[in-house]
């Protein structure tokens, strides 16, 4: 899940890396990942989507990952909201 000003670009770059990996290894869908971007959503909407709208197919092998910048006030707020959820 990508959030913020550059979220669409980051989302597209991650997808491209996944496609490139499959091309190089002769595989299809080898990395089971769904990416989304949320450029215009509030922090509360993003956290709600992450926590309540995201479903893992195989909970033993999957996870929801949030990479936050600890020097960013917005990311700090998101971390607090994620912990509360």
- Residues with Cβ within 8 Å of residue 82, at least 6 apart in sequence: 47, 50, 51, 66
Residues 8-26 pLDDT 10s = 898 899 889 888 998 999 8
pLDDT at 20: 92
Task: Supply 77's token pair.
Answer: 């707020």
CA 36, 39, 43, 47: dihedral to nearest 10 degrees?
A: -10
> How many other C-beta atoms are found inside a 10 Å radius of the C-beta of residue 50?
20
Instruction: Please state the pTM of the whole predicted model.
Output: 0.63
Residues 19-66 pLDDT 10s = 899 899 988 877 777 788 888 888 889 888 888 887 777 767 767 777
Report whether 5 contacts 39 (CB < 8 A).
yes
Return the higher-pLDDT residue of 10 and 5.
Answer: 10
pLDDT at 18: 87
């Amino acid at each position: 899940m990508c959030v913020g000003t550059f979220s669409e670009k980051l989302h597209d770059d991650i997808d491209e890396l996944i496609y490139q990996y499959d091309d190089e290894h002769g595989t299809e869908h080898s990395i089971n990942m769904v990416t989304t971007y949320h450029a215009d959503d509030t922090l509360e909407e993003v956290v709600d989507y992450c926590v309540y709208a995201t479903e893992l197919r195989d909970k033993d092998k999957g996870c929801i990952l949030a990479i936050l910048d600890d020097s960013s006030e917005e990311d700090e707020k998101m971390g607090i909201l994620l912990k509360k959820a």
